[in-house]
Each structure stands twice: as C-alpha cells, then as structure tokens.
Amino acid sequence: MEHDSIYYGQAIEALRGVIDPELFVNIIDLGLVYNIDFSEPETIKIKMTLSTPHCPLGEAITNGVENVLQDQFPQRKPIVILIWDPQWSFEMVTESGKQQLGIN
C-alpha cells in the first residue's frame, strides 16, 4: 500500500494545474487549499476556500479541482468542501504566488 504522503504530493502537483481564472495563479500558490484527506479508501476530500464567498468563477475552480484529481486518482472520488473560516487573504499566498502576482 502506498503512503498518504505520496498521494499528498501527487495531489499537490495535480492541483497546481488548477488556475484561478481571475488572478491567473494556481490554487496551491494562492493558498486556497487548506486540507487534502486520503483517510477514506474511495475518496479524496479537499477542504478549500475561494478568494471571496461570492467568487463568480468558483464553480469553474471547484470543477477544475475535481477534474485534475479524478485524472490523477481514478480509483477515488474527489469531494470538494468549501469552507470560509479562516477567510482567505493575500497573506496566504506563497512566495511563488506573490511573485506571479507582482506582490513584494
């Protein structure tokens, strides 16, 4: 059996392919993904947020998450759980994301 840490790394890399269509940065570097849970054998639960609760492209982002994880882990069903606490802020953006956004 593979370790969850291997799955986690694969999931992170897959999720780097999901780009926020308004900010043009991937959701990992934006800090939108809070948790990836592989504890159940047939699912992947992703706790994440969006830049705002009323993000007009939120459905496109969550569909992107489901699609890349389904491709990477065809034996598991991705379940996206949107949470709003903690609320997203620019402080959550990685250094790489800040460079992409032009923030110093």
**pLDDT of amino acid 103:** 87
Give residue 31's domain range: 4-93
CB 9 within 8 A of CB 44: no
Model confidence, pTM: 0.91
Residue 17 forms part of a structural domain: yes
Residue 101 forms part of a structural domain: no
What is the domain-level CATH number for residue 77?
3.30.300.130
In angstroms, rounded to a whole number, what is the distance separating the alpha carbons of residues 6 and 24?
27
Residue 98 forms part of a structural domain: no
Residue 11 forms part of a structural domain: yes
- Mean pLDDT, all residues of the chain: 92
